[in-house]
Amino acid sequence: GPDNMTPEVWEKVKNHPCYSEEAHHHYARMHVAVAPACNIQCNYCNRKYDCANESRPGVVSEKLTPEQAAKKVLAVASTIPQMTVLGIAGPGDPLANPDKTFKTFELIAKTAPDIKLCLSTNGLALPDHVDTIQSFNVDHVTITINMVDPEVGQHIYPWIYYQKKRWTGIDAARILTERQMQGLEMLTARGILCKVNSVMIPGINDKHLVEVNRAVKSRGAFLHNIMPLISAPEHGTVFGLNGQRGPTAQELKALQDSCEGEMNMMRHCRQCRADAVGLLGEDRSAEFTTDKIDAME
């Protein structure tokens, strides 16, 4: 709340439903699915569906052009006055689609300047885009960080695509963690609020996430959101097909509790779709499909 934050930080947090537990009862967010491509492979992802970097495999969203996305934002904002935040969170990685992502931000900054811009990324391309992110006044960036140790990372990421080359194994995980840490440091040095999302994968990174928590806290992350792996065989993810289980609610809470005190822990995440619309936990995306928006005119 306002008593344990600077006025500048409180200003950024108070209307953001993900960054403030209190705000999520009153303020809504929307996502636009403008970013189909990805530059890494996570074993919990199924590309046919929304990933997202917010890590909820299993639902398909309608892909939009930046122009369609801007139109949708206006339509939603005029229908849902509590809509304060526009996030780009997939279905691939927003920074693997920088032209589409930043074109969308540019259009929305012009047509709906009061809407806060939010971005979620796996972090691989992040250091290359920090200046652009800052120039669009994006105040909130989420990085999905599942490990800070390549030995752990090799079991989560089969490959990354970086500098026109495919990297695998320990090398891939080492590059990814270096880029994530560098991107996080660059953002926090510029005063951009960073949330870290981590997917808890029992037997793979569950014990390790306390170390991730310390690493991101020491680099200035504002909030840590540890989410459960969603692993059902019907989602067709590598983990799902291998019989990898997700954590129980008790295991998740125990891990969140053991990190509490190190930094703010988010506990109200709803693992949104890449085209989510409305209050967290409420899904109004079906009201705002392209054909319905065209019919509103």
Q: Shortest distance, CB of residue 35 to ligand SF4, whole angstroms?
A: 9
Question: CB within 8 A of 253, min separation 6: which ones?
Answer: none
Residue 37: C-alpha distances to residues 99, 136, 161 (Å): 12, 22, 11
CA 98 – CA 80 distance, rounded (Å): 28
For 30, list phi and psi in degrees, rounded to 5.
-135, 155
Q: Shortest distance, CB of residue 291 to ligand SF4, whole angstroms?
A: 26
The answer to whether 167 and 159 have CB atoms below 8 angstroms apart is yes
> Which 106-145 positions form the footprint of ligand SF4 (CB under 6 A)?
122
- For ligand CLF, the binding residues (CB under 6 A) are 18, 29, 31, 54, 85, 87, 89, 118, 120, 140, 142, 195, 225, 269-272, 280
Q: Shortest distance, CB of residue 51 to ligand CLF, whole angstroms?
A: 11
Q: Shortest distance, CB of residue 62 to ligand CLF, whole angstroms?
A: 17
- Residue 92 touches which member of ligand SF4, ligand CLF, none, C-beta under 5-8 Å by kind: ligand SF4
Site string for ligand SF4, 3-42 (x = CB under 6 A): -----------------------------------x-xxx
- Residue 42 touches which member of ligand SF4, ligand CLF, none, C-beta under 5-8 Å by kind: ligand SF4
DSSP 8-state code for residue 290:
H
| Residue 180 binds ligand SF4, judged by CB under 6 A | no
* Burial class of residue 62 (count of CB atoms within 10 Å of its CB; 0-12, 13-18, 19+): middle
- Residue 20 touches which member of ligand CLF, ligand SF4, none, C-beta under 5-8 Å by kind: none
Site string for ligand SF4, 49-88 (x = CB under 6 A): --x-x-x---------------------------------
Q: Helix (H, G, I), strand (E, B), or coil: what is residue 40? A: strand
- Token pair in block for residue 162: 């970086």
Q: Give whichever of 97 and 142 is closer to ligand CLF, judged by the CB atom.
A: 142
CA 287 – CA 197 distance, rounded (Å): 28
- Torsion-angle region of residue 233: left (phi > 0), alpha (psi -120 to 50) or beta? alpha
Burial annotation 141-177 (CB, 10 A radius, 16+ → b, else e): bbbbbbbbbbebbbbbbeebbbeeeebeeeebbbbbb
Q: Shortest distance, CB of residue 238 to ligand CLF, whole angstroms?
A: 21
Q: Shortest distance, CB of residue 101 to ligand CLF, whole angstroms?
A: 12
- Residue 179 touches which member of ligand SF4, ligand CLF, none, C-beta under 5-8 Å by kind: none
- Residue 160 touches which member of ligand CLF, ligand SF4, none, C-beta under 5-8 Å by kind: none
Residue closest to ligand CLF, measured at CB: 87
CA 248 – CA 147 distance, rounded (Å): 20
CA 242 – CA 247 distance, rounded (Å): 15
Q: Give whichever of 172 and 235 is closer to ligand CLF, judged by the CB atom.
A: 235
Q: Give whichever of 53 and 180 is closer to ligand SF4, judged by the CB atom.
A: 53
Binding site for ligand SF4 (CB under 6 A): 38, 40-42, 45, 51, 53, 55, 92-93, 122
